[in-house]
Amino acid sequence: MSLITTEFLQYGAESAYVGVLRLNRPELHNAFGDLMIAELIQALDALAAMPGLRVLLLESTGKNFSAGADLNWMRAMAQKDYQQNLTDAGALALLMQKLNSFPLPVIALVQGAAFGGAVGLVACCDMAIATPKASFCLSEVKIGLIPAVISPYVVRAIGERASRRYFTTAERFDAKTALQLGLISEIAGSDLAGSEEQADLRAKAQPLINAIIANSPQAVVAAKALVAYVADAPLTPDTIAETSRRIAAIRVSSEGQEGLTAFLDKRTPTWQQPTSAGQTEE
């Protein structure tokens, strides 16, 4: 299956179940500005509407995942007034919100540097895998700024205590530290480079992809939405009632009925296809 190529991205269905959103500006280390942000928003909307997808990979070409904000973009925004900067920040905020709330599980594959806003992209994903040489930095205070728009997602990912440190020191930290903080889920096993590095990230992601597509598509979407709801909800009678409503609704859904029946009958549910075992559809 062919991907859609734009000025800064490649995206689309890579196989029957796997979608890809690829930053494709390697000559500038995948730094992003207003035009790339607009393309990312459009791509996420298009991917969310693609039938059959069950998981999305967020990756990039070249040596680095993303250097964060493009210098020319930042230079241009420094010449604009408050209202123009507010509008511009709103576009980045929309991108982060759309990635964070994307209905399907999103797995980030990170090589090289992920700086500034790129840390926000990683934090918005459900899972992230990085190479051993990957490095991260919330570098905004070095140039008199703050990581404001990405902060809701980064603080949720690494916690308040770590955020207090890395937001204010702008220290660069490695993949091992990112794993300890919870920003990434796993570190790819081999210390490779170039295309081999990308292949290693994909190989590390494959078990996660297989696990996701072996499960009920409706239940996976509902489970991700459940986490988002419960994480922000106080433990009140209303919250308890809502969780009861959600399990009751999915029990009587078509896939809930199929899953329960298949389990009791000791057979494979209808959504499990050969690709669930690791085969790739072309």
The predicted structure's pLDDT at residue 192 = 57
- Would you give the DSSP letter of residue 29? T
Q: What is the CA radius of gyration of the chain?
A: 20
Comparing CA positions, the residue from 18, 19, 8, 16 lying closest to residue 45 is 19
Distance from C-alpha of 9 to C-alpha of 30, rounded to nearest angstrom? 9
CATH no., domain 4-213:
3.90.226.10
pLDDT tens-digit readout, 234-245:
999 999 999 999
- Report residue 279's pLDDT band, with 50, 70 and 90 as the boundaries: very low
Residue 61 · residue 21 · CB < 8 Å? no
Task: State if pTM tops 0.75.
Answer: yes
> Distance of CA 125 to CAs 24, 75, 110, Å?
18, 28, 11
Distance from C-alpha of 277 to C-alpha of 213, rounded to nearest angstrom? 9
Q: Which option is the CATH number for 217-277: 3.40.50.150, 1.10.12.10, 1.25.40.80, 3.40.30.10? A: 1.10.12.10
pLDDT tens-digit readout, 258-267:
888 998 899 9
Q: Give the DSSP H or E segment for 20.
A: strand 18-23
The predicted structure's pLDDT at residue 278 = 41
Number of H helices, E strands in the chain: 11, 10
- Report residue 276's pLDDT band, with 50, 70 and 90 as the boundaries: very low
**Domain boundaries of the chain, sorted by first residue:** 4-213, 217-277
Residue 216 · residue 259 · CB < 8 Å? yes
pLDDT tens-digit readout, 36-84:
999 999 999 999 999 999 999 999 999 999 999 888 888 888 889 999 9
Q: Is residue 277's pLDDT more than 60?
A: no
The predicted structure's pLDDT at residue 148 = 95
Q: Is residue 191's pLDDT more than 80?
A: no
The rounded percent of the chain whose pLDDT value lies above 70 is 94
**Weakest-pLDDT range from 12-16, 68-72, 169-173, 249-253:** 68-72
The predicted structure's pLDDT at residue 152 = 97
Angle, CA 172 vertex, CA 112 and CA 56 arms, to 5°: 45
Q: Is residue 280's pLDDT more than 50?
A: no
Comparing CA positions, the residue from 93, 90, 17, 7 lying closest to residue 43 is 7
